[in-house]
Chains A and B, each alone.
Chain A
Amino acid sequence: MNVDTTYLIIKSLMVLTIFGITLLIATYLTYFERKVAAFLQDRLGPDRAGPFGILQPLADAGKMFFKEDFIPQNSAKSLFILGPGIAMFTALLTGSIIPWGPQITLFGETFDFQIADINVGILFIMGVVSIGVYGIMIGGWASNNKYSLFGAIRASSQMISYELAMGLSIIAIVMMSGSLSLKDIVAQQHGMNWNVFYQPLGFIIFLVSALAECNRAPFDLAECESELIGGYHTEYSSMKLGFFLFAEYINMFISCAIISSLYFGGYNYPFMDMITDPTVQGLIGTAVLFGKIFFFIFLFMWIRWTLPRFRYDQLMHLGWKMLIPLALANMLVTGAVILFNQ
């Protein structure tokens, strides 16, 4: 019983830690987004609140809280409230199965830097991604507004379409590593043996699909302001709107973490065997993982502020007629190579 209690305490602490870190990073991503946008457009960006404007996210959060929380008269009230909740819940859920670092021993206890090592980890991610649509759909429908409904329908059809290409590119990774558990997949990329060198095409497909799944520009047709006002969250205000926006940044953080784990070795880094102390090695690994994640977040922002938005038919064309056949071909070639090497 005693062992169980410590186990439970450690796991709960870890859940809280990752929850806190995710929220903190998502908060500051709003700041980074503005700074990156400003940098790319040769502006200064927010610089009023605190030194270099680093208190800006807190000011924004305060503003969100004190705004009037308005629920439209003819909306489906319970669903209207449920929508942002589901969006936030699914965004946070995936963080639980990402291996944030290798197993390390501290104070005589072994710590797994992963909340749950699920046997079907990758499929779990796909499952969470596929239910992530509900928050947007329910929120958009419950608002009882044409523009919200259009935004919701655009978002969900886009997410369904790109989910397929994403799943197919993951299958190639699964075939290579022979495991569905994220822990095994990351552990196999020890040192510099990263999957991206074997699966460059798969990586590109995954990256594009991840951009589309996060509703980020150039795929942000769901909230394209010149056609749809604000998309699925047109009718939302106060912290409910905050939840939708926040969930988007959390999704971005988590998908960057997944890209780093699947294709860029997660916590592995070159010459890691030269560090003999496993604890130091592990802690550096975690730092390296976060470095990779921030690089990809920067890449996402870079893409957003340099590329124009697609048209909707171009988006569907890219998803169904380019990415899916490419991913299928990639899967076939991977399978054939594995078979010949046996």
Chain B
Amino acid sequence: MSPTIFLTLAIIAVVSAMFVVFAKNPVHSVLALIVTFFSIAGLYLLMNAQFLFVVQIIVYAGAIMVLFLFVLMLLNLSADTEPQKSNRFRVIASASAGLLSLVFSAGMVIDATMGDRNVANIQEIGLVKHLGKVLFTDYLVPFEISSILFLAGMVGAVLLGKRTPKESKS
């Protein structure tokens, strides 16, 4: 049963991800991306990672994509208002996508070579209880550092959103 579900979800994820790139209308792309996120959330659930499943839906499908959709609906994009991308942008974009896939494959290789993991714990690692414990004991420093990163992001957003004093006078 599980392989069938996995294959279905994986095919949906890949097909909708391709639709994101090929769709002419940006709103359709965003909707396809939401479908991709849902199928990925389903994959998390198959691995018994319930917390990741819910967070994937709340954060990615629920919050980030809503904001994307929001901006796109307000901007009213069409083919003639779209800025023409120069070749330099294309090269940079492909290079960064390639680097990202390099990071992912490196992670997979390292993951495969580690090997000494307690198999009994793996089934339950995705539950909130275990995840919380691990985050606040073994991985406290990375956790705190990423919190600071988020805080910096928030401060930056507030700063960008705030009007400069000159602007508010005029």
Contacts and interface: CB of A to CB of B under 8 A. Distances in A.
A20 interface: no
Interface of B: 27, 31, 34, 50-51, 53-55, 57-58, 61-63, 66-67, 69-70, 73-74, 127-128
B54 A124 contact: yes
B58 A119 contact: no
A137 B50 contact: no
Contacts of A124: 54
Closest 4 CB pairs of A and B: A130-B62, A127-B57, A123-B54, A127-B58
B50 A130 contact: no
Contacts of B128: 119-120, 180
A17 interface: no
B50 A118 contact: yes
B63 A137 contact: no
B50 A119 contact: yes
A160 B64 CA distance: 10
Given A160-B66, A160-B67, 11 more contacts: A118-B50, A119-B50, A120-B128, A123-B55, A127-B58, A130-B57, A130-B58, A137-B66, A137-B73, A141-B69, A153-B70
B51 A120 contact: yes
B63 A130 contact: yes
Interface string A38-71: 0000000000000000000000000000000000
Contacts of B34: 134
A120 B70 contact: no
B66 to A, nearest CB: 5
Contact of A141 (B27, B61, B62, B66): B27
B66 A130 contact: yes
B54 A131 contact: no
B62 A127 contact: yes
A152 interface: yes
A149 B31 CA distance: 17
Q: Chain A binding site: helix, strand, loop or mixed by DSSP?
A: helix
Interface of A: 76, 79, 118-120, 123-124, 126-127, 129-131, 133-134, 137-138, 141, 149, 152-153, 156-157, 160, 180
A258 B62 CA distance: 20
Nearest to A159: B66
A157 B70 contact: yes
A138 B31 contact: yes
Given A118-B50, A141-B73, A160 B63 contact: yes
A137 B10 CA distance: 27
B31 to A, nearest CB: 7
In this complex, the member of A76, A120, A156 whose beta carbon has the largest number of chain B beta carbons within 10 angstroms is A120
Contacts of B127: 119
A123 B73 contact: no
Contacts of B51: 120, 123
B20 to A, nearest CB: 16
Contact of A131 (B31, B62, B73): B62
B18 to A, nearest CB: 19
18 contacts: A76-B27, A118-B50, A119-B128, A120-B51, A123-B51, A123-B55, A123-B58, A127-B54, A130-B57, A130-B63, A130-B66, A133-B62, A134-B69, A137-B66, A138-B31, A141-B69, A153-B70, A153-B73
A222 to B, nearest CB: 14
A20 B115 CA distance: 51
Contacts of B50: 118-120
A152 B27 CA distance: 14
Contacts of A180: 128
A117 to B, nearest CB: 12
Contacts of A137: 66, 69-70, 73
